[in-house]
Structure 1
Amino acid sequence: MLKDDGPMIITVGNTKGGVGKTTLAVQIAIARAIAGSDVWLIDGDRQGTAAAAIAARAQAGRQPGIACAQYPEGPALRGQVQQQVGKWQDIVIDAGGRDSTALRAALVLSDVLLVPFAPRSYDVWALDDMAALIDEARSVRDGLRCFAVMNQADPGIKSTDNADAAAAVAEVPQFEYLPSPIRRRKAFSNAGGAGLSVSELPTKDPKAIAELDTLVASLFNVQSMS
């Protein structure tokens, strides 16, 4: 999925709030920067949580630095991406947890949509709203690939809730289901607030690092999925 004609633009979005979009967007952006890519993280949410995390990273003097801007309105987001698209290798957009102009603009601009969902029935039902937005975006833009990933998954390997949610999402035709869940781990919350990757924490959580590496690899095809 890597392109030769411009940056990879990834939106992490869902009309359902509380599914960990910002955490994943920040983690993906930092992981790509650590890998050597020129990354621009766009915070498309009025709450500005992603921008705050990157500000904390900058204040701590962490390298690599991450360029970040906040555009919660669709016209500004669209215009800035179109104007600056040639400056970056990767653009990661964190879209807020609602049907917003920023989310709709991001879908039309993006190569990849990553939709995190939690293993709760109402989170799975909410994917119907995203499916409708995907259909709308695809009516005006070719080539949008859409992946659903279970985030905040139950730690138990044989969790019934995880299995039931995965089976339900796999039946939504607009999505490609990624069988590489991100589980509820303290490392993700600890890292996110400080604007760090889980790999940068002083105390390493190998399982959290492996889960993130697998997700990033599956999105960017830098290696085969494990």
Structure 2
Amino acid sequence: MIVTVGNTKGGVGKTTLALNLAIARAIAGRDVWLIDGDRQGTAQTAITVRSEAGRQPRIACAQYADGSTLRAQVQQVGPKFQDIVIDAGGRDSTALRAALVLSDVLVVPFAPRSLDVWALADICSLIDEARSVRDGLRAVAVLNNADASGQDNEEAVEALADFPQLQYLATPIRRRKALANAAGQGMSVLELSPKDGKAVEEITALINAVFNSI
């Protein structure tokens, strides 16, 4: 299964979610390949930190910021893996466009802020283009860095009605220090000690919604 975590808007937490998805699948015993499609290489850096710390399970990771290279490598090497998680975006890029055509599922993180919601129009345009080339892309939106309380979460979800390309996953990920702490060590919140039970619950719900739906 190929899952891309992507958005044309930066700062939505896609790398943190991609890390958590990839590591969780590896913990579950799957052969996982994490692909960093961002020129900043943050996901690859996190996996390097993980490797240097000797953490298990090890995660295969490669960086392909060029779309044609990413496409060729996934087509050639991808069949060796059970799951591929691609971290792409932050802007409209050839890597993001290639990932959309290759993927079974696109996970679009967005924050409960007007700028994030408005920016969904750009990724939805790319979804339409990808679906014109290849049928079957499932695109889901997940509320990331959600507020603990207040109306902003609800209003952001209601605004998704303007974007029929996206299916909303009712698995919000709230702002939690555990997520940042884990990612900084190349870890998932599932591995962090002491555990943040609420963070684990939210990430587990997202993983189940993404991987158990196809």
TM-score, normalising length: structure 1 = 0.93
- AA of the residue aligned to 2:110: F
Q: Which residue of 2 aligns with 1:61?
A: 54
Q: Does 1:186 align with 2:147?
A: no
Deviations 1:106-125 (A, max 9, x none): 00000000000000001000
Instruction: Name the SS of the counterpart of 1:143 in structure 2.
Output: coil
Any stretches of 5+ residues in structure 2 without a counterpart? none
What is the distance in 1 between the residues matched to 2:122 and 2:25?
Answer: 29
Number of the residue aligned with 2:86: 93
- Structure 1, gaps ≥5 residues long: 1-7
* Structure 1 residue 20: Cα displacement: 0.1
Q: 1:86 and 1:196 mapped to 2: Cα distance?
A: 25
Q: Give the structure 1 partner of residue 195 of structure 2.
A: 204
Superposed CA RMSD in Å reads 0.8
Q: Aligned residues: percent identity?
A: 69
Structure 2: distance between partners of 1:21 and 1:117: 9
Shift of 1:102: 0.2
How far did residue 96 of structure 1 move? 2.6
- TM-score w.r.t. the length of structure 2 is 0.98
1:175 paired with 2:171, answer no
Displacement, 1:176? 0.5
Say whether residues 1:140 and 2:140 are aligned partners.
no
SS of corresponding position for 1:148: strand
Shift of residue 199, structure 1, vs aligned partner: 1.5
SS in 2 for 1:179: strand
Answer yes or no: is the 8 Å Cα contact 1:120–1:165 preserved in 2: yes
Q: For 2:183 and 2:194, how far apart are their aligned partners in 1?
A: 14
Cα displacement (A) at 1:178: 0.5
Task: Tell me if structure 2 keeps the 8 A contact 1:170–1:176.
Answer: no
The CA deviation at 1:170 is 3.6
Is the strand fraction higher in 1 or 2?
2
1:207, 1:124 → 2: CA distance?
25
> Aligned partners of 1:145 and 1:96: how far apart in 2?
17
Deviations 1:101-152 (A, max 9, x none): 0000000000000000000001000000011100000001010000000000
**Secondary structure, counterpart of 2:172 in structure 1:** coil
The counterpart of 1:150, out of the listed 136, 143, 146, is 143
Say whether residues 1:71 and 2:64 are aligned partners. Answer: yes
Q: Alignment partner of 1:139: what SS?
A: helix
C-alpha displacement at 1:85, in angstroms? 1.7
